[in-house]
A and B are shown apart, each in its own frame.
Chain A
Amino acid sequence: EIVLTQSPATLSFSPGERATLSCRASQSVSSSLAWYQQKPGQAPRLLIYDASNRATGVPARFSGSGSGTDFTLTISSLEPEDFAVYYCHQRGSWPWTFGQGTKVEIK
C-alpha cells in the first residue's frame, strides 16, 4: 500500500499570504495524484487532478505540481473561504489511498 504523508498537520496563515502544502508518497505514483478541499459538514471538493490540472470552476490561485513521490499544492493568495482541510489522494496503484490531511487555519 502506498502511504501518502502530508506535513505538517496544521498550517497557520493570514489572508493574502501564500500557502504551500506538501504530499509525499512512499513510492512513485507517477502523476496519478489529486487534491481535495473539505470544509466542516461538507463533502470534499476536487481542486487538482493528475497532479497539476485544475478542476472545473477552481480559481486560478490554486495550482498543483510534482510527479513521482513529491507533490505540492500552492494557494497563491489565501482568501477567507480557503481556510479548510486539504487532502491528497493517489491512484497510482491499488489500493488507492489518501493522505491524512493538512488543516489550513487562520493565524
Chain B
Amino acid sequence: EVQLVESGGGLVQPGGSLRLSCAASGFSFSSYAMSWVRQAPGKGLEWVSTVGTGFDTYYGDPMKGRFTISRDNSKSTLYLQMNSLKAEDTAVYFCASNIPGRAGFDYWGQGALVTVSS
C-alpha cells in the first residue's frame, strides 16, 4: 500500500523557518518525481514545487528564493525547507507523487498545517 506521511507543520512567526518532511512507502520512491501542493484555509489548490528523479527542481513564483525542495532516496523522504515565511504561506501542505511521464498526481499525503502568525 502506498503511503505518504507529512510531518513538521506547526505555528511559526513571520520571517521564521520550517522544514516539512514526507515519508514515502509502498512504491519505488527514487523512480517518481515528487511535489508539494498547498491549500490556504477555505481556498483552492496551489502547486508549490517539484523535484524530479534527477534532482532537478521547480518552484512556483511566490516560493522562489524562499523555499527549497529536496529528496533523500536512501530514506524515501521528501523535504520542503521554508524560509522567510509570510502570513500568506499559511496553508495545509500536501506532498504528492507524480505519475511517471503522465500529467497527474496519483498519491497524496494527508497534509501538514503550517500557520504563520505572530
Contact = CB atoms under 8 A, between A and B. Distances in A.
Contacts of B110: 43
A55 to B, nearest CB: 6
Contacts of B105: 34, 36, 44, 46, 89
Contact of B47 (A49, A50, A89): A89
Contacts, number: 68
B59 A44 contact: no
A100 B99 contact: no
Interface in A44-73: 44-46, 48-51, 53, 55-56
A87 B44 contact: yes
B109 A43 contact: yes
B108 A97 contact: no
Contact of A46 (B59, B61, B106): B106
Contact of A97 (B47, B50, B103): B47
Contact of A43 (B44, B99, B104, B111): B111
A38 B58 CA distance: 25
B45 A34 contact: no
A98 B103 contact: no
Given A49-B106, A89-B45, A100-B44, 17 more contacts: A36-B45, A36-B105, A38-B45, A43-B109, A44-B108, A45-B108, A46-B105, A49-B99, A49-B102, A49-B103, A51-B103, A89-B104, A91-B103, A92-B103, A96-B50, A98-B37, A98-B47
Interface of A: 1, 31-34, 36, 38, 43-46, 48-51, 53, 55-56, 87, 89-92, 94-101
